Structure 1
Amino acid sequence: MIGRYGVTLKRLIVPAVAGGMLLLAPVASTGQEGGAEAVQPSHAIAMHGEPALPPIFQHFPYADPRAPKGGQIVYGVQGTFDSLNPFVIQGLPALGVSGNVVESLMARSYDEPFTLYGLIAESIRVPKDRSWVEFRIDDRAQFSDGRSITAEDVVFSWQLLKNKGRPNHRLYYSKVAKAEALDQKTVRFDLAGAEDRELPLILGMMPILAKHVTDPETFEAGGWEPLLGSGPYVIDEVRRGESLTLTRNPRYWAADHAATRGHNNFDKIRYDYYRDANTLFEAFKRGLVDLRIETEPGRWMSGYDFPGVRDGKVVMEELETGTPKGMNGFVFNTRRPLFSDVRVREALGLLFDFEWMNANLFGGAYSRTSSYFEGSELTASGRPASPAENALLTPFEGVVRDDILAGTWRPSVSDGSGRDRRALARALNLFAEAGWAPSNGALRRDGKRFAFEIMVRTKDQERVALAYAKSLERAGIMASVRLIDALQFERRLAEREFDMTVYFWLSSLSPGNEQSLYWSSAAADQPGSRNYAGVDEPAADAMIAAILGAETRENLVTATRALDRVLLSGFYTVPLYHAPKQWLARWSRIDHPIRNSLFGPIFETWWHKEPAP
């Protein structure tokens, strides 16, 4: 085969390999390629270091290859949906399409911070400087209609998502200088100038769509037309806004692939949608929903006294995870003049009485969150800035507060009475510095009262927001709480039509490009991005760039901690709380492997268990 620069690329296909993987056994190449040393194909790629699993492996450690096949699982989802396309911003997509119906070039291992193993792409080639990446497509890979996946489909998917996909796709894929099919099964991406070491992995996670049936002209509109992918399931039945049923594809090309062995064990997967949390919980109690991740501690401690639990038919588990806890918080829309002053935002954070709320609403089950990367080596909380962090932050003098730089800052701690005068006094001092003062029982500036709306989407969020609004009354602040439906909530989020809302940012052990969508200046006013707070801070941009350019794990940790300090200093959220473990309840007809993954339960590895005779 003649490569991009006229260099002969030699490969030897080895068809019989244990573990169901068709790997490439490299033959030494000669000469240079694209100005870089010749690079041999690999079965996997790690963000930092080496992949944990060898070229020939049987299955991921957290999957059980002996798992029985059959039966179905029913998930309960609060909300609704009006689209089957999860790859565009238009509409609220149904869960289950990405991964189950449309799969990616490579498969992620959930036992490592960020490592991908071959799937559609049986191998990957990438030079040390990561200035390009090349994927070789498995000859067996095919879409659910039986048509083989080609390099042309990969280039088509990249182009389509770059131009019409969600903001994350547009951001990531626009960094590619050039994409081309070298032959029917080999695709190469030129990443020159991107300065993004994560980009080869991001491309490895790209969903692959079928060019022969996907219409670019209608793709961005979303809608009810099912997408054709190469995943283990196909869309079987759709009840608009109510349920989505997937059926196992009997011709799934990778059914015995090492990366999927022990996965995809149910014959059917159904997602049933419920309008409110109480109805969803009642459905679980009646056995209409098979499993439930509980997020309400009061319910976890006292709400599971029903026949299914007493009879042993419902199993309650508290599972450990090795990932950061993430940031759950009240989010300020700093685009609003009311929240443009950091002193105002800090003052509002002081008035959130976690100790009273935890004792009276949650039975003491929660811990306060004090970092965007809580519970991991990535957090800056409790750690003074290292010399390397200081070096990154030095060009942005004054952006990070001294107490946050020293690692001593914590969210305000009250006496638990619900009327802590110290917190109120500190908050009023900050308000005064920003020009706000009490007047006739109300906090005012230039005669205008301090008032805003908190937008929520669930009853649980509403309860917390109402308690917070009550505490704000002590400072003369009027906060109204508005509960809206899922569709309207997502629309207002995307269009930034809110004062304050509640949001949870999931944190990874390997932060990367998603941080740009969360916190970069470029994403601040980009519809559909997750920079809901409107962060527009050059220091945050610089720390994100350092994360993307980190060549070692140590450099990544340093840059992430520095970003954590920048975000904490900006007081863009009122940090809420997190559970020490993941609470999960399941009907005993559903079972899972003994070994959990680093990321927690991987539901693709669970199975339906026949009832005891």
Structure 2
Amino acid sequence: MADGHGIAMYGEPALPADFTHFPYANPDAPTGGRIVTAEVGTFDSLNPYIQKGSVPWQLRYIIGESLMVRSLDEPFTLYGQLASGVQTADDRSWVEFTLNPAAMFSDGSPVTVEDVIWSFEILGTQGHGRYRGFWEKVASLEEVSPGTIRFTFNTEDRELALLAGMRPILKKAQWDGVDFAESGIDIVPITSGPYVIDDFEVGRFVSFKRNPDYWGADVLATEAGLHNLDEIRLEFFGDETAAFEAFKTGEVNSNREFNVARWDSQYDFPAAQAGDVVKSILPHARPSGMTGFVMNSRQPQFADWRVRDALLHAFNFEFINETMTGSAQPRITSYWSNSPLGMADGPATGRVAELLAPFADDLLPGALDGYTLPVSDGTERNRAGTAAALAQMEAAGYTIQNGVMSDADGNPFSFEILLETGASENQAIIDMYTQSLGRIGITPTISVVDGAQYKERTDALDFDMTYYRVGLSLSPGNEQYFYFGQATADEPGTRNLMGIKSDAVDTMIGNLLTSESQDDFVASVKALDRILTSGRYVIPIYQWNISRIAHAKELSYPETLPIFGDWPGWQPDVWWWNAAE
């Protein structure tokens, strides 16, 4: 039975019980100052814990607090936050947390066991879909002794003990007589975190202030050197151009740049020339995740993998990459590329092959024998890619008739590409892609809608192709069911936008959750990566093996970077304002 200050997915926590701060935090960092970032889009809700509404994605990280907190310097290890201790069975069939008696909400009221139990129940039944899968695996939740809560699980899943420590804890009394699932802008959740919402204007900005009475400031080692800035402000803009102009003029003082061409050529404005703005390049060791354009396999146009393969061949990445970035960004090659969890080149071998073997008849070409993305010659015409696309469309029953790709009955093959207003880079990529598609007789419809419509349509799975981004970690777990599992594939708000429904995928996720050795865990993820990548659901674009952040010279961060690099929990958490600059 494991008992202590922290819990790791495999092995023991790296930090001892008497650690004083995370290795990537500066315990001597001063407090004060502010960080202001530019967000493209809008919002109409300040409750990040429900399905309804469009919420600033940072909100749950800034105001939320959970029983335990993750270390960004370990693949998956948690240390006590609202909980002062954790105890679990050797087989992880149950876990207990002892609540820190000093914990209190931002309104000064204590965090109680009743609040903890209610939070799990309400989130699991009425909260955002990301919370529900865990709750279905809880057999019981009870106070077993004063201040100690025990979760008993009904499923063999070693990650559940850790997930229990990561759910946000809310104040039960705030929601008496209130429909939790319908709340939005009128009620801001009361939490126990170091920041509270100070001011906001719907669609314009949200300002958070550091709570001077935050209970954990001088209590927790996990807080030493964290949450130093007095204000975190999110400014919202209609498009990327307006957002960048706001940074150039100083309205915004930190900008995460994803366009390497702009990074190299447009950061010569007066504030940068004067040294008031500095450029930081930050490496990391986390997986690439998947970024690109997803095809909705629920739609008849994309149900056939050969059609999806054809559209991958038609996407002239090398030409697009040269146009957009000067070929400076490497392509994403799989969901876990840039990490030890990514699938290997060539045929599956060893334990990976063993895991995939029972599903050999159902897997698509490439899963077992090896798959790589098409590579063009870099020219605009992409003759080889065009020829391969035509061959695959013909194999799927389509030919060019009078200049139009059509089925055997003469019905044109077409589809809609859904984009969000303000996503100028995505629109530029799609403009080039549609020119390539024209060479194989396909003319897609491009629909550009505002943020609210975009969320409504993607939540309802009402799209053929759209932009897709999923960040993946070195410790994938239950969230993979939400991303790729068939049980939630058709639920509103699912992250499984491609609509994959695969017994092999579900089995690999189950394997990685129940693996008792690191080797078996790695093999399960590599096998999952092969299935997803060879499924040809997403047209990948570039990966970012580094982060590029331009910021005011006063904004500082520690020299020691965590393995996760620039990741939620790092900026603005460990940053501080250096007034001497």
Q: Same fold (TM over 0.5)?
A: yes
| TM-score (structure 1 length as normaliser) | 0.91
Cα distance in 2 between the residues matched to 1:375 and 1:40? 33
Q: Is the 2:2–2:90 Cα contact (8 Å) retained in structure 1? A: no
Kindly state the Cα deviation for residue 402 of structure 1 after the two structures are TM-superposed: 5.5
Q: Is the 2:106–2:211 Cα contact (8 Å) retained in structure 1? A: yes
Q: Is the 2:398–2:406 Cα contact (8 Å) retained in structure 1? A: yes
Q: Structure 1 unaligned segments of length 5 or more: list them.
A: 1-38
Cα distance in 1 between the residues matched to 2:382 and 2:61? 49
Cα distance in 2 between the residues matched to 1:103 and 1:386? 42
Aligned residue among 183, 191, 194 for 1:222: 183
| TM-score (structure 2 length as normaliser) | 0.96
Cα distance in 1 between the residues matched to 2:2 and 2:351? 34
Kindly state the Cα deviation for residue 400 of structure 1 after the two structures are TM-superposed: 3.5
Output aligned runs, 1:11-160, within 5 Å: 39=1, 41-160=3-122
3-state SS of paired residue (2:190):
coil
Kindly state the Cα deviation for residue 387 of structure 1 after the two structures are TM-superposed: 2.1
Aligned residue among 411, 415, 440 for 2:402: 440
Q: Is the counterpart of residue 560 in structure 1 residue 543 in structure 2?
A: no
3-state SS of paired residue (2:241):
helix
Instruction: Assess, with a 3 A threshold, how the Cα gap between structure 1 residues 109 and 183 changes in structure 2: closer, same or farther.
Output: same
Per the alignment, residue 24 of structure 1 pairs with: none
Cα distance in 1 between the residues matched to 2:156 and 2:410? 51
Kindly state the Cα deviation for residue 564 of structure 1 after the two structures are TM-superposed: 0.8
3-state SS of paired residue (1:220):
helix
What amino acid is aligned across from residue 493 of structure 2 in structure 1? G
Kindly state the Cα deviation for residue 391 of structure 1 after the two structures are TM-superposed: 1.7
Cα distance in 2 between the residues matched to 1:180 and 1:212? 19
Cα distance in 2 between the residues matched to 1:305 and 1:392? 52
What amino acid is aligned across from residue 325 of structure 1 in structure 2? S
Highest Rg: 1 or 2? 1
Cα distance in 1 between the residues matched to 2:576 and 2:107? 26
Per the alignment, residue 505 of structure 2 pairs with: 540
Q: Is the 1:99–1:231 Cα contact (8 Å) retained in structure 2? A: no
Kindly state the Cα deviation for residue 73 of structure 1 after the two structures are TM-superposed: 1.4
Instruction: Assess, with a 3 A threshold, how the Cα gap between structure 1 residues 429 and 524 changes in structure 2: closer, same or farther.
Output: same
Kindly state the Cα deviation for residue 96 of structure 1 after the two structures are TM-superposed: 4.1
After the TM superposition, which of the residue ranges 434-443 and 220-229 deviates more from structure 2?
220-229
3-state SS of paired residue (2:27):
coil
After superposition, give the CA deviation of every residue in 1:365-409 in whole Å (9 maximum; x if it has no partner): 1111110101011111425423211221111113345544244x2
After superposition, give the CA deviation of every residue in 1:260-282 in whole Å (9 maximum; x if it has no partner): 11001011111111111000000
Output aligned runs, 1:260-275, within 5 Å: 260-275=223-238
Kindly state the Cα deviation for residue 415 of structure 1 after the two structures are TM-superposed: 1.0
Q: Is the 2:21–2:221 Cα contact (8 Å) retained in structure 1? A: yes
Kindly state the Cα deviation for residue 40 of structure 1 after the two structures are TM-superposed: 5.3
Per the alignment, residue 372 of structure 1 pairs with: 335
Aligned residue among 185, 189, 202 for 1:240: 202
Kindly state the Cα deviation for residue 183 of structure 1 after the two structures are TM-superposed: 3.5
After superposition, give the CA deviation of every residue in 1:115-141 in whole Å (9 maximum; x if it has no partner): 000010111111111111100001111
Instruction: Assess, with a 3 A threshold, how the Cα gap between structure 1 residues 426 and 73 changes in structure 2: closer, same or farther.
Output: same
Q: Is the 1:152–1:184 Cα contact (8 Å) retained in structure 2? A: no
| Relative contact order higher in (CA < 8 Å, ≥ 6 apart) | 2
Q: Is the 1:108–1:114 Cα contact (8 Å) retained in structure 2? A: yes
After the TM superposition, which of the residue ranges 71-80 and 120-129 deviates more from structure 2?
71-80
What amino acid is aligned across from residue 577 of structure 2 in structure 1? H
Output aligned runs, 1:121-520, within 5 Å: 121-191=83-153, 193-215=154-176, 217-224=178-185, 225-256=187-218, 257-382=220-345, 384-401=347-364, 403-407=366-370, 409-445=371-407, 446-457=409-420, 458-520=423-485
Instruction: Assess, with a 3 A threshold, how the Cα gap between structure 1 residues 581 and 421 changes in structure 2: closer, same or farther.
Output: same
Q: Is the 2:290–2:332 Cα contact (8 Å) retained in structure 1? A: yes
Q: Structure 2 unaligned segments of length 5 or more: list them.
A: none
Q: Is the 2:292–2:467 Cα contact (8 Å) retained in structure 1? A: yes
Cα distance in 2 between the residues matched to 1:584 and 1:269? 16
Q: Is the 2:288–2:338 Cα contact (8 Å) retained in structure 1? A: yes
Q: Is the counterpart of residue 584 in structure 1 residue 549 in structure 2?
A: yes
After superposition, give the CA deviation of every residue in 1:187-216 in whole Å (9 maximum; x if it has no partner): 11111x311111111110010001122237
Q: Is the 1:324–1:375 Cα contact (8 Å) retained in structure 2? A: yes
Aligned residue among 536, 540, 550 for 1:571: 536
Q: Is the 1:151–1:183 Cα contact (8 Å) retained in structure 2? A: no
Kindly state the Cα deviation for residue 97 of structure 1 after the two structures are TM-superposed: 3.1
Cα distance in 2 between the residues matched to 1:265 and 1:317? 20
Q: Is the 2:365–2:534 Cα contact (8 Å) retained in structure 1? A: no
Instruction: Assess, with a 3 A threshold, how the Cα gap between structure 1 residues 507 and 233 changes in structure 2: closer, same or farther.
Output: same
3-state SS of paired residue (1:86):
coil
Cα distance in 2 between the residues matched to 1:360 and 1:586? 26
Q: Is the 1:132–1:188 Cα contact (8 Å) retained in structure 2? A: yes
Per the alignment, residue 30 of structure 1 pairs with: none
Cα distance in 2 between the residues matched to 1:222 and 1:595? 41
Q: Is the counterpart of residue 610 in structure 1 residue 579 in structure 2?
A: yes
What amino acid is aligned across from residue 265 of structure 1 in structure 2? N
Instruction: Assess, with a 3 A threshold, how the Cα gap between structure 1 residues 209 and 115 changes in structure 2: closer, same or farther.
Output: same
What amino acid is aligned across from residue 135 of structure 2 in structure 1? Y
Kindly state the Cα deviation for residue 61 of structure 1 after the two structures are TM-superposed: 0.3
After superposition, give the CA deviation of every residue in 1:54-113 in whole Å (9 maximum; x if it has no partner): 011010000000111012111211111111100111000134432332211101000000
Cα distance in 1 between the residues matched to 2:358 and 2:104? 51
Per the alignment, residue 15 of structure 1 pairs with: none
Q: Is the 2:364–2:535 Cα contact (8 Å) retained in structure 1? A: no
After superposition, give the CA deviation of every residue in 1:538-586 in whole Å (9 maximum; x if it has no partner): 1111111111111222111100010111112211111222133211111
Cα distance in 2 between the residues matched to 1:310 and 1:363? 23
Cα distance in 1 between the residues matched to 2:510 and 2:440? 40
Instruction: Assess, with a 3 A threshold, how the Cα gap between structure 1 residues 96 and 565 changes in structure 2: closer, same or farther.
Output: closer
Cα distance in 2 between the residues matched to 1:142 and 1:255? 12
Kindly state the Cα deviation for residue 182 of structure 1 after the two structures are TM-superposed: 2.0
Q: Is the 2:66–2:169 Cα contact (8 Å) retained in structure 1? A: yes
Kindly state the Cα deviation for residue 480 of structure 1 after the two structures are TM-superposed: 2.4
Instruction: Assess, with a 3 A threshold, how the Cα gap between structure 1 residues 443 and 241 changes in structure 2: closer, same or farther.
Output: same
Q: Percent of pairs identical after alignment?
A: 42
3-state SS of paired residue (2:144):
strand
Q: Is the 2:338–2:545 Cα contact (8 Å) retained in structure 1? A: no
Cα distance in 2 between the residues matched to 1:254 and 1:492? 41
Cα distance in 2 between the residues matched to 1:594 and 1:209? 35
What amino acid is aligned across from residue 608 of structure 1 in structure 2? W
User: Across the two proteins, how many residue pairs are aligned to each other?
Assistant: 572
Q: Is the 1:71–1:268 Cα contact (8 Å) retained in structure 2? A: yes
